[in-house]
Amino acid sequence: MGKTPVKKSNYYVVEDGKLKRVRRTCPKCGPGVFLAVHKDRVSCGKCGYTEFIKK
């Protein structure tokens, strides 16, 4: 079973005629590289940057 790729258009939404990013971007890689949301952390798949979510 292969994973289905996620469309980049799912990371944006239009509000009041302006484009808004749904997910956070990586502070190291810059705009266009989004952080993946996991159960206990957010991470960048490109550079490996990780932030743990405090509960």
User: Residue 2 has what pLDDT?
Assistant: 74
Bridge partners of 20, per DSSP, are: 13
Asked if residue 52 belongs to a domain, the reply is: yes
Asked if residue 5 belongs to a domain, the reply is: no
Asked if residue 19 belongs to a domain, the reply is: no
Asked if residue 47 belongs to a domain, the reply is: yes
Q: Using CA atoms, how far apart are residues 47 and 26, in angstroms rounded to an integer?
A: 9
User: Residue 1 has what pLDDT?
Assistant: 66
pLDDT tens digits, 14-54:
999 999 999 999 999 998 899 999 999 999 999 999 999 98
Asked if residue 43 belongs to a domain, the reply is: yes
Asked if residue 11 belongs to a domain, the reply is: no
Q: State how many domains the chain has.
A: 1
Q: Give the mean model confidence (pLDDT) for residues 9-18.
A: 92
Asked if residue 3 belongs to a domain, the reply is: no
- Domain enclosing residue 41, as ranges: 24-55
Q: C-alpha distances in angstroms, 18 versus 2, 11, 13, 42?
A: 35, 14, 8, 25
On the question of pLDDT at 12 being above 80, the answer is yes
Q: Using CA atoms, how far apart are residues 11 and 33, in angstroms rounded to an integer?
A: 10
